């Protein structure tokens, strides 16, 4: 962010990358469960399969209330089965 300070509340698109092991429905359900646990509604869902088919990326628009909520969200996303990372 080049030293920029985030101002909350904040709307942005989060990307979650998972290994292509579970079904699309299972992956989305896991991500939605994390969002709902933080009272975050996801919208504008999209997914993309990597060139070799080894990974899936999910993009979802979210509204974050504060830095603490953002930190909890990323912490919980890391616990999703087969997740590689979230940005």
Q: Please state the pTM of the whole predicted model.
A: 0.90
pLDDT of residue 3: 65
Question: Would 1 be classed as within a structural domain?
Answer: no
Domain membership flag for residue 4: no
Closest CA to 18 of 43, 67, 54: 54
The domain tally of the chain equals: 1
* Cβ pair 56, 27 in contact under 8 A: yes
How many residues comprise the chain?
87
Answer yes or no: is 5 within a domain.
no
CA nearest to 71, candidates 82, 53, 52, 86 = 86
d(CA 21, CA 55): 8
Residue 62 maps to a domain: yes
What tens digit of pLDDT does each residue of 37-68 get? Answer: 999 999 999 999 999 999 999 999 999 999 99
Q: By residue range, what is the domain housing residue 66? A: 10-86
Domain membership of residue 2 (yes or no) is: no
Please count the helices (runs of H) and the strands (runs of E) in the chain: 2, 4
């Amino acid at each position: 962010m080049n030293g920029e300070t985030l101002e909350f509340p904040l709307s942005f698109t989060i990307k979650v990358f998972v290994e292509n092991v579970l079904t699309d429905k299972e992956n989305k359900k896991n991500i939605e469960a994390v969002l709902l646990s933080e009272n975050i509604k996801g919208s504008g869902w999209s997914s993309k399969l990597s060139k070799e088919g080894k990974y899936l990326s999910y993009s979802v628009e979210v509204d974050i209330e504060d830095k603490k909520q953002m930190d909890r969200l990323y912490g919980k996303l890391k616990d999703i089965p087969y997740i590689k990372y979230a940005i």
